[in-house]
Amino acid sequence: MTSFNSPCPRASWDSKEYEGSVAFIRTLNDAAIPVSIQQMMLDGSGVKWIVKDIESSHSPQISQPEKLISIIVEIAQEFQSL
């Protein structure tokens, strides 16, 4: 239960240093965190995200690892062009 009782350090994704270079992969068939909630979290962050979608449930690393790798490589290439 330590994870629920320990202080959480500040997130880095909203730091000035990362402006324009943060990404999120929405899992479109996610029953645990529906895409509407994923989008609400993105919208509420106040940060501009690079957003990619994958037709998978909550764990694309298990159900679609090759597609996930492809998306991560695509994001990395976008970061390199910044």
pLDDT at 81: 85
State both tokens at 51.
């957003």
Q: What is the pLDDT of residue 20?
A: 84
pLDDT tens digits for the chain (82 residues)? 676 788 878 788 888 888 889 999 999 999 999 999 999 999 999 999 999 999 999 999 999 999 999 999 999 999 988 7
Q: Report pTM.
A: 0.84
Q: Which amino acid is at 24?
A: F
- Tokens 């000035």 sit on residue: 16
Distance, CA of 74 to chain centre: 14
DSSP-derived secondary structure for 30-76: -SSS-HHHHHHHHHHHTS--EEEEES--S-HHHH-HHHHHHHHHHHH
Residue 1: the pLDDT is 61
